[in-house]
Amino acid sequence: MSSFTLSAAPNTDVWKKPPTHNVYDAPTKTVPAKPLSQFKSAKITFTADWTEQYDQAGLIVTFDSNSGREKRWIKTGLEYYQGTPQLSTVACDRWADWSITPLAAFEDTESITVLIEQERDFMGPSFWVYYVKQDGTKVPLREICWVFGDDDCTGKDWNLTVGALVARPAKDAKSDLEVQFKDFDVQWSE
């Protein structure tokens, strides 16, 4: 997919925290949904001027059930937290959890590339989240194992929607967050 820009108004987010906070209103640009069993990988590169607490952008993968189960999702990319750009991954099965690593721990770069891949090993299938350095080196950030926890590890009950995401959760921000995306690529098996 060619280059594109997404903007998020203040007070937009994708986040779910007990006991009742559940928001999914951030702007996205997605590819058509396909079965989880066909997903191989998704990769995107992006850049922005991060200024507000929790400004964020990257990939989002949404899991919609064929049998009416509650929506699940994974988002990964950059989140601006405590004045520092952080590589961020949030995985939401029942509730969201969040992991961050300072971007400066890897390299100083204006553009960020993240990758989600389905991987299978002798212990079973999972999703791996990577930060991709400018030289193409994949730096593992997180393994997410619940993805195939239902349906005998086949994922047959779930369809995936994969997309670019931008959010600006700060309610008092004075302007939108604008993010430039490029090299958005989603791979599926046939």
Domain that holds residue 108: 4-188
**Side-chain half-sphere CA neighbours of 17 within 13 A:** 6
Number of domains in the chain: 1
Residues of the chain with pLDDT under 50: none
DSSP conformation class of 93: S
Which residue, among 4, 113, 9, 103, has the nearest Cα to 52 in the 3D structure?
A: 9
DSSP string, 29-41: EEPPPEEGGGEEE
Q: What pLDDT score was predicted for residue 183?
A: 97
Tell me how far apart the alpha carbons of residues 21 and 17 are, in angstroms, rounded to a whole number.
Answer: 5
Q: What pLDDT score was predicted for residue 11?
A: 98
CB 42 within 8 A of CB 1: no
Q: What pLDDT score was predicted for residue 156?
A: 78
Whichever domain contains 76, its CATH number is: 2.60.120.200
Which residue, among 190, 152, 159, has the nearest Cα to 66 in the 3D structure?
A: 159
CB 14 within 8 A of CB 157: no
DSSP conformation class of 168: B
Tell me how far apart the alpha carbons of residues 77 and 166 are, in angstroms, rounded to a whole number.
Answer: 10
pLDDT digit string (tens) for 88-123? 999 999 899 999 998 887 766 779 999 999 999 999
Q: Is 104 helix (H, G, I), strand (E, B) or coil?
A: helix
